[in-house]
Every structure is written in C-alpha cells, then in structure tokens.
Structure 1
C-alpha cells in the first residue's frame, strides 16, 4: 500500500523519541528517484541538518568559529524505516536516538 505525505508539511516538525522526549526537528529529507517515483531514504533532524538544508555550511561554520565553537553535535540521520509518520503532525522515532548515526561537524 502506498502512503503519500506532503513533505513540505514535515519540515520543521518536532520529532519525539519512543518515550515522548523531543529529539529535534525535521530539517532535511533525502530521497532517491526510482522510475517515476521518489522514495525517502532518510530524514535529517537537528540544527546541523538545518544548515545543510539552507546550504549554509561555510557561513554557519564561520559564525560558529567566531563564537568560539569547536564541535557541533546536534543532529541525527534517521533511516526512513526508523521514522514513524502514522501521525504526520507528531512524527516519532521507532528507535532510541542512541541507535542513530549522529550528524557531527567540526568548526576547524
């Protein structure tokens, strides 16, 4: 069964872990074209993902360097199968954040 969700409505939505604790917001969605369809590969959540979505890495990292930041650990890469979109207004993880790949960037 195919289930369609308007992706633009997911951007900025707070994602909860299985216990109901906020993990971050959906800031980027990666998809791959297969034939006439686009299939979701993964969701990026957190501040790091926002910089990626806005293609603002260089500017963002320069600002963070000026503010004295060395490393940023505020984001996760969530495989499509680990995101529960049963209620698109309240997306949640099917696993604990510790099980996900962290998005990590260094300002150096």
Structure 2
C-alpha cells in the first residue's frame, strides 16, 4: 500500500474508482470547499472518531497542504487501517469542489 499519492494521480483515480476520502481539516475549512463525498473528521477529533471507520476500507486522507493528513495517515496506519496521504492537499487540488452554506 502506498503511503502517499500525488494530487494528479488521485484525481485520475477518482474518475474511475469509488474511493473513501477523509478530510481532516477543521469544519469551517471543510464547509468552505471539499472534494465531493469526502467525510470530515478533523485531525483534532480523529483519536476519538477513528472507530467510525471500517478496517476493510482503504482511506485517502486530505487536508489543506498535506501535513495534517500525513499525521492522520500515520495514526490510522498504527491503528491497523489502510490509509494514503494525498500530497499537496487542497492547496494543489484541481478537481471538483463542493462548498456548503
């Protein structure tokens, strides 16, 4: 399992596959714009909310720049989950974005 994936490769991947995306930014960042179908679990809540995730699912983790998502990937991997960090985060994201509110 890859620890990281580039923004470009991830954008290509979601064109052909249904993937599970976790956005670990804070709720106000998530509401301002996120990848469609991403689940918001802020890094600050991951330690208590990771039990919401399925062990048999591969998760792709994103944040603003890639730092928080890497910390989340390390945490999830240590807990026995399959996770890949999306390099560059939303700063480099060129795909579809959904905003709420």
Q: TM-score if structure 1 supplies the norm length? A: 0.26
Q: Is the radius of gyration larger for structure 1 or structure 2?
A: 1
Q: Which one has the bigger strand percentage?
A: 1
Q: TM-score if structure 2 supplies the norm length? A: 0.27
Q: Which one has the bigger helix percentage?
A: 2
